[in-house]
Amino acid sequence: MIQKRIINFFKPGSLIVVSILNVILFSQENIANDKRVIITKQIPTGKIELDGFLDEPEWKMVSPAKDFIQRDPIEGAPSTEKTEVYVIYDEDYLYIGAMLFDSYPDGILAYQKRRDQSLRTDDRFMWILDTFLDGRTGYFFEVNPAGLMGDGLIIGSESYWGTNKDWNGIWDARVVIVPEGWSVEVVIPFRTLNFDPNLDTWGINFQRTVRRKNEDAKWTGFQRNKKLTSPIHAGHLTGLKNLTQGRGIELKPYVSINRRRINIEKNMETDNLSDLGFDISLNITSGIKGSLTYNTDFAEAEVDQRRVNLTRFPLRYAEKRGFFLEGAGVYSFSPRNDVTPFFSRRIGLSEGKQIPINYGGRLSGQVGNYELGIIRANTNPLGNIPGENFSVARVKRALLKQSYLGFVYTNRSAVNLKVDSTALDQTLYGADLDLKTSEFMGDKNLQFQAFAIYHTAPKNEANLNFSDLSTRGLRFSYPNDIIRTHVSYREFGEMYNPAVGFSRRNGFKRIQPSFSYHPRPEKYEFIRQIEFGIQYEYMTDLDNNMLKEETTITPFNVRFESQDEIEFKIVNLIEYLDKPFAIYEDITIPVKEYSNNELQFKFETSKKRMISTELEYQTGDFWTGEKQTLKTQFSIKPFSGFNIQTEYEKNQVTLSGNNFRTELYNIELGIYPSPRTAIFSNIQYDNVSEALGLFAKFQHTIRPGSDFYLVYTHNWISEGDQIFDFDLVTISKVSSLKINYTLRF
């Protein structure tokens, strides 16, 4: 039935589709069932003191997961350092204890302390939990020897690691460095997890990094084609009995105090505001959680990373608001296809300006083979923006071992459409299919994706047809360690514009194949892997007139055993500009066909060093002239818990005698006395907006789930020719204090 529906939708490639589906379906039927297993046991409540030392006798009641196997640098070899992991539980908590032996404890690296910070710098211990034993979804956790905690939701193939690390669950950990290495104790409340209470077995896996050796080792699924965050490759944790989440009620009230000063025509207006609100969550079942937020406040959300846009298309910024991040994995739609029917920043944000959210409701979790996500939100009117209602629903139906069929629905409308006849009123429907296997030809990954989306027409253009208002596409991928290849095809209607989604460009057809070869030369011990590749993109309008033809060749990308990396690319671009656009101030690019060539060079040093840097240089043709781009990043970590990072970007552009230069500066300072206290500041300036921005935040975790925030933002406009003229005028400054506290019942 699934095959027939896809074939009918993509008739021109039906034979190819049938072949791909048959290969994937056959491969999934032959997935091996041999799994490594550890057995856990229940202990009396209150026996474990969370101090990082595995000195309680309860840890010795179970046998550890051990005998880790290298993923890198020598695939299949025993880990050079011994690791033992124990798992026990009581009525309310799951406990994980790990002893990570190290023959040279002075070589342990632990720079980072800020939650969810990248651990490319440090030694680390990671694990996943597949609490529904479905091989698709789950939870990711990690710690380093300094006690940093990181976590995320496993969402599939959207990124290499396949996790949404913006999720912050309530759990705790303690880490100590001992003469034999480093020791970890972790406690995870069952209330933090969604799970099937009828199961006595979960999926589980562990991975350890010894950074000075650039060594990664896993408990099971050590092959490079098998990611830690693919639960299908996990082992089993068995012996779980009578798991519950109690009443499953979580109340999170907050109080915030804000002082805002805004420069309106050189007159500073001051507002002193205080507010109360709350989030409340209820575990409807062990797999489904419902949440409600009232009078939502996002004072703690960090500012967007500033960027200079020299294209005619909008930029996409990441979501940073906690309410929309929790449970966000289910909303991932046809990953890697550049199609986003639901983009949460459409709710409560308009061109960077915050729109007050009156209330929001959320339902998320799993029921049997179905993964669900529902959001309902209401915003208050602000200026000429009316109050609006937002509805989003997403469901994924598990298929076979690793696949799913999904549907999405969104609706956006004004609170009172009769009063505001110009308000947006749109409904969207979409479906996506993801078929994949990791057992093609024994141990290879193979994936097929297809999607289709349609939304209703604007009120003033009711004559638009389905093709105008829809997008559709398919993708075939072979993503493996040595050979990676893919081909994708997409069509975007002329008027496709999802009201609660994101789309960079409309009105085109595009085919995009790529191939890359990644050998691991054994005779050069200082080289880990080399990449040679080519990517091609051909785009036309909906009448098959050429819009873009781009070929990118990677003569080499070298990853060294030291973790340094060097890359060189050659880009040839032929593009027909069908509409003029203003690229900078009064400089306009005319309608014409352009042929450009560009060289790109990138060098990156290992993040494990106290001082590290990145350098990227691009030079070549650019519309009617030329462009040179220089990007640099410099980071210094003199000791654990202290980090300074600077970024600089410069574009030097010459267009038919019109010269201009854009510059972007970014300085970040992080001071982290402990993994539970953070002082973070960010200064940004660009010469396009001539705006200087300061963001500073102090955060202290009172206990997991309860935090104190002190946030200060200050924005200036430079009225001189250069930032260093110090002719700065304040346009806004905001001071915010916020306290939230989580109560669980």
Residue-range definition of the domain harbouring residue 205: 31-238
Tell me how far apart the alpha carbons of residues 469 and 341 are, in angstroms, rounded to a whole number.
12
Segment 640-682, tens digit of pLDDT: 999 999 999 999 999 987 899 999 999 999 999 999 999 999 9
In Å, what is the CA distance from 731 to each residue of 265, 712, 727? 9, 14, 13
**Range scoring the smallest mean pLDDT among 6-10, 24-28, 42-46, 66-70:** 6-10
Domain assignment of residue 127, yes or no: yes
pLDDT of residue 417: 65
CA 411 to mean position of chain CA atoms: 24
Mean pLDDT of 520-537: 95
Tell me how far apart the alpha carbons of residues 530 and 519 are, in angstroms, rounded to a whole number.
6
* Paired tokens of 203: 């999926």
- Give pTM, 2 decimals: 0.88
Domain assignment of residue 675, yes or no: no
pLDDT of residue 722: 57
**Range scoring the smallest mean pLDDT among 32-46, 191-205, 313-327, 552-566:** 313-327
> Would you place residue 683 in the very low, low, confident or very high pLDDT band (cuts 50, 70, 90)?
very high
Mean pLDDT of 313-328: 81
Tell me how far apart the alpha carbons of residues 156 and 398 are, in angstroms, rounded to a whole number.
12
Specify the 3-state DSSP secondary structure of 642: strand
Segment 73-120, tens digit of pLDDT: 999 999 999 999 999 999 999 999 999 999 999 999 999 999 999 999
Tell me how far apart the alpha carbons of residues 124 and 180 are, in angstroms, rounded to a whole number.
16
Domain assignment of residue 61, yes or no: yes
CATH number of the domain to which 193 belongs: 2.60.40.1190
Domain assignment of residue 587, yes or no: no
Cβ atoms 729, 244 nearer than 8 A = no
> Would you place residue 31 in the very low, low, confident or very high pLDDT band (cuts 50, 70, 90)?
very low
Cβ atoms 431, 407 nearer than 8 A = yes
Number of domains in the chain: 1
Domain assignment of residue 335, yes or no: no
Model confidence at 13: pLDDT above 60:
no
Domain assignment of residue 36, yes or no: yes
Cβ atoms 379, 348 nearer than 8 A = yes
> Would you place residue 10 in the very low, low, confident or very high pLDDT band (cuts 50, 70, 90)?
very low
Tell me how far apart the alpha carbons of residues 128 and 140 are, in angstroms, rounded to a whole number.
5
Question: Helices 14-28 and 2-9 sit at what angle, rounded to 10 degrees?
Answer: 150
Give the range with max mean pLDDT: 171-185, 285-299, 703-717.
171-185
* Paired tokens of 37: 């297993």
Most distant CA pair in the chain, distance: 79
Domain assignment of residue 158, yes or no: yes
Domain assignment of residue 259, yes or no: no
Tell me how far apart the alpha carbons of residues 305 and 633 are, in angstroms, rounded to a whole number.
14
* Total residue count of the chain as it appears in this document: 745
pLDDT, averaged across the chain: 89
pLDDT of residue 724: 53
Percentage of the chain exceeding pLDDT 90: 63
Model confidence at 63: pLDDT above 90:
yes
Mean pLDDT of 271-279: 80
